[in-house]
Structures are given as C-alpha cells and as structure tokens.
Amino acid sequence: MDFMVFQYPMITIQACLDGILLGVLFALIAYGMALQWGVMNIINIAQGDLVILGGYIAYFMYLYGIHPAWGVIVSPFIMYFIGVGIYKLVINKVVDRDLFISILATFGISILFMQLMNFAFGADVVLANSGYGTTFLFDSNVVLPNSKIFSAAVSIVFAICLVIYMKKSKLGRAIRATAQNARAAKILGVDTEKVYAATFGINAALCGVAGALISITFTIHPYMGLPYTIRSFMIVIVAGLGNLPGVALSGMGLGVFEEFADYMLGTEFRIGSVFLLLVLILVYRRFKLSRKREYLK
C-alpha cells in the first residue's frame, strides 16, 4: 500500500478535489436511478449504457463540428424520447411485476444496447475535445482540467432544475404522488402510466447529460457502461431513495473514496474497491436490518 497521498498535502488536496468533481457527476446518474427506483420500483441495470449512448450523441455532434458542450442540451432531448420508447416497448410490461423480473429485463436491455452501440458506432474508444484548458491552484501544485469543473457545474445545475421541477410542476407532483402510493394516486386521477413513461424518460435524459459530460471529460466505448451502473446503484443504496442531498453527498464521498483507493492501492483496484465497498455496505445494511427486527420482536 502506498501512502504517498497523505505525505504530500498537495496530492491530498488534488485527490479530494478530483474526487468531488467526479462524485457530482456520479450523483447525477444516481439521482436518475433513485427516481426511477422510487417511483416504479425498477432497478435499471441499463443505466450505464444509457449514459454511454448519451455520450455518443455528444461525440457525433463533435464529429460534425459542433462544440460537444451543446451535447449537454441536445443529448437529454433525444435520450428522453429513447427512454419513453424503451418504457413503451419493454418496461410497461414488467413495471408491476417483482423486482427480479425488472432486473432481468433491464439486464437484457443493457446487453442489447451494448451490442447495438458496438454495431453502429464501432468498438473504438472515442472522446470529444472541449478545448477548455486547465485551472492551476496553489502555485500550480494542484491542477484541475476545466472540463471536469464544467461537468460538475452542469451536473449541479441540472440537479437543481430537476428538484425545482419536481416540487413545482404538475407532472413533478404527480411523479411524487405516484412514488408515495401508486394506487391512491391512480384513484385520485393521476395517469400513472404517463407518470411512469415520463419518469423513465427523465432518467434517460439525465443519463444523456451525464454521457455528454463523460465524453468531454473521459472516454466512451460501447462496453464501458457497467461501472457507471454499479456506481449509481451503490450511491443510491447508501443514500436511500428520494433523498437528494444524500445522493449528492454519497456521490461525492464515492468519488473521493475512488481517488484515494487509486492512490493507495493502485489504479487497477479503483473499480474493484467500489465493488468491495458495495459488498461491505450491503452486509452492514443487512446486519442493521436484522438488529431492528430483533428489536421489533
């Protein structure tokens, strides 16, 4: 194990800032997952693949000479309709069934998307260059690519917009009502079918934004979706459903955790450490639950 990250304060600061900027982006993806999970009781395994698809939209804009940052606006639009399409084709048939069926269905969608993207866009790793430059802090001992700062800022803006939308708009209220009690909402005149379709669409749109940001900051590839699914799953488990500040915090926490794991254990254990953390948290939750049950007895 390498403790270099603690020996030089500048590296510690660098790791924290990198982690926070990254975590905000993860939180955006996780928020979409939490929304869908809360409203429809569906765990979307295809979340990461939707992200990558959103990234490809930004990448193609970049190829045609449009600045990829516009992808942040265009990609969610297209992804919304793709999301609604997936809902109408597949998800509405599994939405009332148990969780296991929906996991299987979205797992299938994930494989299908991977293969289709590979078929349509090729297996090359691609990226979109934003040309945003770099910010130097602390006498240029800490460097932050502006693309990372940009993506964190955009994620925050979208998250805030979404929260306001959920609170104020009619559809937002309908979504929240359906999440609380779908049956009651239905009786009181909410068209739950529409709400479900819109929720799935909004989630896909959020993935579209995140994908566009990832194509600007990192790289995209048809098979790179799964780590994003796992991360958002994990963030949601830690934060709980319908807890936006929790999602944001646990997203940033995960980002920082990953950075430190990267420095201390090595880059090869970066994703591995996320998986390990996931297992630990699940075990811990189970432990806590069983204690509660004893108490209830």
Interaction site with other proteins (CB under 8 A): 4, 8, 11, 14-15, 18, 22, 115, 118-119, 122-127, 129, 134, 136, 143, 145-147, 218-219, 221-224, 226-227, 259, 262-263, 266-272
Burial class from Cβ neighbours inside 10 Å (0-12, 13-18, 19+) for residue 249 reads middle
Question: Residue 62 or 80: which CB sits closer to other proteins?
Answer: 62
Minimum gap (Å) between residue 34 Cβ and other proteins = 23
> Which among 157, 160, 163, 158 has a CA at the least distance from the CA of 175?
163
Minimum gap (Å) between residue 47 Cβ and other proteins = 15
Question: Residue 5 or 84: which CB sits closer to other proteins?
Answer: 5
**Cα separation of 241 and 109, whole Å?**
23
Question: Residue 4 or 289: which CB sits closer to other proteins?
Answer: 4
Question: Residue 5 or 166: which CB sits closer to other proteins?
Answer: 5
Query: Where do the H-state alpha helices sit in 41-191?
Result: 47-63, 71-86, 92-94, 99-121, 146-168, 170-180, 182-187
Minimum gap (Å) between residue 212 Cβ and other proteins = 15
Minimum gap (Å) between residue 228 Cβ and other proteins = 10
Question: Residue 114 or 177: which CB sits closer to other proteins?
Answer: 114
Query: Is-contact 60 74, C-beta < 8 A?
Result: no
Rg (CA), the chain: 20
> Which among 144, 129, 19 has a CA at the least distance from the CA of 63?
129
> Which amino acid is present at 262?
D
Minimum gap (Å) between residue 294 Cβ and other proteins = 40
